[in-house]
Each structure stands twice: as structure tokens, then as C-alpha cells.
Amino acid sequence: MITEKAARVLESHKLCDHCLGRLFAGLGKGTNEERGKAVRFVLNMERSAKDLPPVEAPETCELCGNVFERIPELVGRMEEVAAGVEFETFLVGSRFPEEVRENEKALWGEFDIGTAEPINREFNRELGKAFGKATGKDTAKNPDVVFIVEPYSGRIELQINPIYVYGRYRKLVRGIPQTPLPDFDESVASIICRAFSSASGGKCVFKGAGREDVDVRMLGNGRPFIVEIKLPKKRKLDLDAVKGEINASGKVEVLNLRFVSPKEAEEVLTRNHRKEYLALVLVEEGVTPEEAEEAARKLRGLEIRQRTPWRVRKARADKVRVRRVHEAEARWLDGKHFELRLVTDGGLYIKELISGDKGRTKPSVSDLLGKPAWCERLDVLNILDH
């Protein structure tokens, strides 16, 4: 049946071995070219037995125009396009003219062929095998780079996939924002990204798991962050060297740098973390050790209803968030100050938890004391993963 169908096809169409074999790609093992040669060989044996002339492969295939013969040339072009880009894994995609794809589908319909494979799928596979053999690189499901090839024009587009690096940062000084802001010379993001961009030759995008205010330090185990490096020329980064460059700033320290997948990066940024804070509370009307301790005791386990703070209303949606205080400890310092160590749900604004933000946060430390209290200084001590 295969040779009968092949004979009918070849009576009216001049096909190369690739295009002939591809009609029967769903049958047996081997490459389409091998399959096409085998089908043609058996068909010609049958024709010889009937004293009919052989059906030879044409000089030019009417379907693909001998495009598979261009593979060695295209491999060379791919190597040129990727020169200077570090990668270990790749994939090949192709853009075939619509006319070729339509002609192929018409052929399948004309001869009721249900075992065929599209030309671009075979071409991608064969070009990928040839490029891998020439360069020693491997194909992968999530590759470092993707080549998009236009087989007839020879145009090649190189897509360089980003690198993702996980880490945690400590902000050791007050007065620098997490991300660039007007009137500030640098930020946590610019200090970190400068080192990554220099090492990779790519463009660095910083994403923090939450943020702290400009005047707040981030201490302890550090805040999780992801660096996405777009269009990297180098992928094998010396993360210890990058860490050393960042930490030499004296303003920002990074810990636990490691490469992660896009999926892991997304999980880091969407995970909800509890936070541990240390706040210096100012009570202008005066505060006793007993009052400070009583306020902390009442805070423990308390559910807080917090409307978007007045100071960030232009940048955040105006809504009421419900968050919980899990731990609270007070340490009295003097007649107007005490320290408050807190462990809270992520997303609770601590400055407003203390001041009450003119009634927008209920209850607040001011409410519990029965007199105005203010956050004079704040540090994030730890970001708690569990």
C-alpha cells in the first residue's frame, strides 16, 4: 500500500527523498530521507520487475526546492550569528513561506495521507542535529538560546533567553531606595544590577519580594530578590565574584546567590513572607515601662484592619487590608522612647501600625496607649519564609 501510494504521488509530483519520506513519517523508524530512499528503492524494484523505468529523485524538488541541501550553509550562518554569545543548549525554529505549507497540505489532501509530518518540523530537527554535531551543543526544552531560521532567505534571528538569579539582600544604611527614585544617586537595585550587568554583558532587571522604605534598613537574613538578566552574552557567571563586588559597596550586601528557573523565580516573588521588625517608638506625652509592656501584650495575636496609608495612596489602591501581629515585645528606653520588636504578616505597614495614620489603621499602638505614638526609626530584622 505504501509503494502504491508513493507511485501515485510520484506520477504527478517530483519529490526529493526528504519530502517523499515525510509523507510516511508516522510509519517505522529512521529519518525521513532514509524512509524516502527506501520507499523509492522498493518502488523501483517493483517497476524493474515490470520493465518500467525507475523514478529517480529530481534535480529540484517541486515541494521544498532542495531546501535540505542548504543545511550545512545555514549551520555556518548560525555559528556566525551566535559568535560571542555563551550558551550550552539551544532550539531551532523556522519560518517557511505560507505557499510551501499550503502546497504540502494540498498534497496530503490529494492523496489522503494521514501519516505525514510538516516540513518545518523535519527541517528544525535536521538543522538542529547538524548544528549540534558541528558545535557540540545540545538541544533542551528550556534552552539558553533559540535560532529562528528563514530557510530560503537565509535570515537568522537569535533569541537569547534570560538568566534568573536568586539571592537575599541586606540594606545596611538608611537613605537609599530599593529601586531608582528621583533625587537619589543610587538604589539597592542599581548597586546589585551594576555588578550583574558588568559580569554578563546583559541588561539586569531587579525584582524584590516586597520592599522597605528609603529610611529603613534591611538586616538579618536579608530580603529575597530575583535578578533577571536579559540578552546575556555570558551565562557562566562567577556568583562569588559578583557577590564580592556588590558587598564592597558597604551599603548593600547579598547572600545565597544561585541560579534558578523562571518558575522558581516567580514562586519567590509571589510567596507571602512574615516579617520581623524593630521599631523605635516615640511618645511625646511620655511612656512608662508598664505602658510599653501592656501595649506589646495587647498587640500579640491582634488582627489589624489597615486602610492604604495616606503617604502611599497615590501609588497603591485604596483598600482595607487585614493583617495579623504574631509576636510583640517591648523594651523601655527612657521617658519618651521604647523599642518594639514585632513579627507580622507581610504587607502590614509598621509606621502606621504605631501612629494609627489618623484612624486609617485600627487598632494601633497609639490606640492601645491612649496617646499619640510615632515610629522614629525602623529596621527589618528578618524575612521569615515560614
The annotation places the binding site for substrate at: 277, 349
What is the distance, to the nearest Å, from the Cα of residue 235 to the centroid of all Cα atoms in its chain?
14
Name the E strands within the chain: 89-94, 138-139, 145-149, 156-160, 163-171, 203-208, 217-230, 252-260, 274-282, 303-307, 320-334, 337-344, 361-362, 374-384
Q: How many CB atoms lie within 10 A of CB 16?
A: 25
Of 165, 194, 167, 191, nearest to 177 by C-alpha is 191
d(CA 238, CA 245): 11
Which entry of 17, 112, 183, 213 is annotated as an active-site residue? 213
**DSSP labels, 63-104:** TTTTGGGGHHHHHHHHHHHTTT---SEEEEEE---HHHHHHH
How many angstroms from the chain centroid is the CA of residue 100? 35
**Number of residues in the chain:** 386
CA distance 59 to 66: 8
Distance of CA 333 to the CA centre of its chain: 47
Q: Is 385 an active-site residue? A: no
Q: Are 105 and 22 in contact (CB under 8 A)?
A: no
Q: Hey, is 224 helix, strand or coil?
A: strand
What residues act catalytically? 213
